Amino acid sequence: MTLARKGSSTSMVPVRERVGRPRELTIPRLPRDSEQGRHSSGGDAVRMGLGVRAAVLCLLLALHLPLPAHAQGDPPGLSEYAVYPFRPGLFWTDVGLSVLYDTNFELTQVPLEGPGLLADVRAHLRTSSGLPFARVEYRGQLRQFKASERWNRDSHMVQTVLERRLGPLGMEGIGVWQTSSQTEDRELADVYSVSPRVTLRARSMRVRAFGRYWTRQFRFDQEREETIRTVGGDLGWRIFRVTDWNVGFRREEAESDRPSWRFESESVSAYCRIQLGRHTALTVEASRSERSYPERLLESEGKAMPVEELRLAHAAYLQLGPWLGPQLRLGYEYELRTSNDPQRGLDAHRASLALRVPVVNWDRQPRSSP
C-alpha cells in the first residue's frame, strides 16, 4: 500500500523490509527535474540550515584538532581531494592560477614574508569512468615569489594508482614521483613513494588503512636523504548529503644519513566539507602532530633531552562555482610550531585566492560516495 500526505507533492515509493514478515513501508522520492523549480526555495533553505549547523560543528572541531595534510608533506592528490573532491571521468584536464600572501613562507624564526604567484595544470586519465583498474594523474606547477628568488621554481608530479574492487572492499597500490616538492618544513625535495591502501565502504561510511614507504632527496642540501615509513588510517562519512567528514591518524618514522634529522611523529587530523549551496562549499581542515628527534639532544637541568615539537594548524577554504565549470577558491591557513628548542618555535599565516578552469571533461561526473 502506498501512502501520501494530503496536500504534499512528494510521491511515495513502496519498499519491502529485509528482516521479518514482509510489509510495505514508504519513503519519499526525490523530486524530478521538472519539479525542482516549484520546490527549490524550500529545499535551498533546508540545505542552507543544515550547512550552517555543520559549519558550526566543523569550526568547533577545528579548535580542538588543530595541520592540514598538505602541511605534513603529503604528495599532492592525497590532501587536495578535500578541497577539490575526486570526480570520476575517463579523462579531464584543468588549469589554475593562484595569488597568495605568506607571512613566513620559509618557516623560520626570522620570517620572510611577501606575495606569491602559482600557476598549474592538471591532467587525469582513467581506464574506466566507473571502477577503473588504473588511473594516472599529472600536475605541473610554476611558483614565483617576490621576496626571494630562491623559491622560484617549477615542479612536476606523476601519480599512478592500480585499483581492485571486491564488493565493498577496495585495494589500491599508489606510486608517486615529484620534483621540487615542498616538505612540512617548507624545504624543497624530490619525492618517490609507494603506498598500499585498503578501503572498506558501507553505505555512507568509509574506513581506510594505508602504509607508505617514501624517500626524499633535498635540493639545497644534496648530500641529505631521508627514508620515511608511514602507517595510518582514517574514517570518512557523509551526513545529510551535504556534509563530508574525515578523521585520521598516522605514525611516521624517518631515517636519515644525518642522525640529527631522524624523527618519530604521530598526528591526528580532521576535515569536513559542507555544501552550503548548489555552487558553494566550505572546507575546514585541522591537525595536531607531535614530533621527536631522538638524536638531537638538549641540556635541561643537567639532563640530556631529545628535541620535541608540537605542530598545530588550521585551514579553511571557500569554494565558489559549479562542479564542472570555473571555480573560485578563497583560502586561509595558519600554522604554529612550539618546541623545547627555542630556535624551533614559529608561526605563519597564508591567504590565497585561486581560480581553476576546466579544459577537457570527458565523461566526468560529480562525486557520489565518500
- Look at residue 322 in the predicted model and tell me its pLDDT: 86
Find out whether 175 and 163 touch, Cβ atoms under 8 Å: no
How do the domains of the chain map onto residue ranges? 38-362
Separation of alpha carbons 28 and 258, rounded Å = 63
- Look at residue 55 in the predicted model and tell me its pLDDT: 53
- Look at residue 49 in the predicted model and tell me its pLDDT: 60
Which residues contact residue 233 at a Cβ distance below 8 angstroms, ignoring those fewer than 6 apart?
207, 208, 209, 210, 248, 249, 250
Set of cell numbers at residue 71:
602541511
- The CATH number given to 38-362 is 2.40.160.40
Other C-beta atoms lying within 10 Å of the C-beta of residue 98: 18
- Look at residue 54 in the predicted model and tell me its pLDDT: 55
Find out whether 335 and 347 touch, Cβ atoms under 8 Å: yes
Which residues contact residue 21 at a Cβ distance below 8 angstroms, ignoring those fewer than 6 apart?
none
Q: What is the pLDDT of residues 173-219, one digit of tens each?
A: 999 999 988 888 878 899 999 999 999 998 889 999 999 999 999 98
Find out whether 96 and 356 touch, Cβ atoms under 8 Å: yes
pTM given for the model: 0.73
Separation of alpha carbons 253 and 269, rounded Å = 18
Query: What long-range pairs does 325-331 form, CB within 8 A, spacing at least 24?
Result: 325/358, 326/355, 326/356, 326/357, 326/358, 327/84, 327/355, 327/356, 327/357, 328/353, 328/354, 328/355, 329/83, 329/353, 329/354, 329/355, 329/356
- pLDDT tens digits for the chain (370 residues)? 444 444 444 444 343 434 344 444 343 443 444 444 444 444 555 455 655 555 555 444 434 433 333 333 333 333 333 333 445 568 889 999 999 999 987 777 778 889 999 999 999 898 876 677 898 999 999 999 888 777 788 999 999 999 898 889 999 999 999 998 888 887 889 999 999 999 999 888 999 999 999 999 998 887 889 999 999 999 999 888 788 999 999 999 999 988 999 999 999 999 999 999 889 999 999 999 999 999 999 887 778 899 999 999 999 999 999 877 899 999 999 999 999 988 888 899 999 999 999 998 776 655 544 4
Q: What are the distances in angstroms from CA 303 to CA 38, 299, 300, 306, 341?
A: 73, 5, 5, 10, 14
Separation of alpha carbons 204 and 241, rounded Å = 9
- Look at residue 128 in the predicted model and tell me its pLDDT: 78
- Going by C-alpha positions, the residue among 195, 161, 191 that lies closest to residue 178 is 191
Dihedral of the alpha carbons of 73, 76, 81, 86, in degrees to the nearest 10: -150
Find out whether 320 and 343 touch, Cβ atoms under 8 Å: no
Sign of CA dihedral 145, 150, 153, 156: negative
Separation of alpha carbons 237 and 235, rounded Å = 7
Task: Give the residue carrying C-alpha cell 567528514.
Answer: 245
Q: What is the pLDDT of residues 159-178, one digit of tens each?
A: 999 989 888 999 999 999 99
Strand duo 346-362 + 134-145: pairing:
unpaired
